[in-house]
Amino acid sequence: MDKIEHIGIAVKDIEKSNALFKKLFGEAHYKVETVESEGVKTSFFKTGPNKIELLQATNKHSPIAKFIEKKGEGIHHIAFAVNDIVSEIERLKKEGFTVLNEVPKTGADNKLVAFLHPKTTHGVLIELCQEINK
Ligand code: ZN
């Protein structure tokens, strides 16, 4: 596993949050992307070498809607960059982690992604992501 690729933050109203994080970082988001299959609208910010992803639900069945219902707005996941997501999934399964996506799926920002169940990672939702066409 490599560096933290980004931190995902669940928000209720991405327009409002974009304005707030723009004030915080002193720079606007550089990208907005809706992943309809996941029921999320995302925006991305850069702060130095770091990346922050905001996520808003696009429907009430979205995992983000369920997260906010249970826990409120806040940090939703930590994403780590990996070079070979398929072998990393195999490795983590052998280590006893529950991988939610045995076959990686296409996520936002040109990535193949897979998540680990927070029950096996002390409540932290972990995302693995591999750049597509790398
Ligand atoms: Zn993410």
Give pLDDT tens digits for 48-78.
Answer: 999 999 999 999 999 999 999 999 999 999 9
Separation of 51 CA from ligand 1 center, angstroms? 10
Residue given tokens 């696009």 in the structure block: 58
Using alpha carbons only, what angle is made at residue 105 by residues 102 and 107, rounded to the nearest 5 degrees? Answer: 140
Question: Hey, is 132 helix, strand or coil?
Answer: coil
Separation of 44 CA from ligand 1 center, angstroms? 10
Q: pLDDT band for position 37 (50/70/90)? A: confident
Separation of 111 CA from ligand 1 center, angstroms? 9
Q: What residue spans of 1-134 are helical by DSSP H?
A: 14-25, 63-71, 85-94
Separation of 52 CA from ligand 1 center, angstroms? 8
What pLDDT, on the 0 to 100 scale, is given for residue 8?
97
Separation of 6 CA from ligand 1 center, angstroms? 6
Whether the per-residue pLDDT at 13 is higher than 60: the answer is yes
Tens of pLDDT, residues 91-129: 999 999 999 999 999 888 889 999 999 999 999 999 999
Separation of 127 CA from ligand 1 center, angstroms? 6
What pLDDT, on the 0 to 100 scale, is given for residue 134?
52
Separation of 92 CA from ligand 1 center, angstroms? 18
> What is the average per-residue pLDDT within 79-98?
97
Separation of 129 CA from ligand 1 center, angstroms? 8
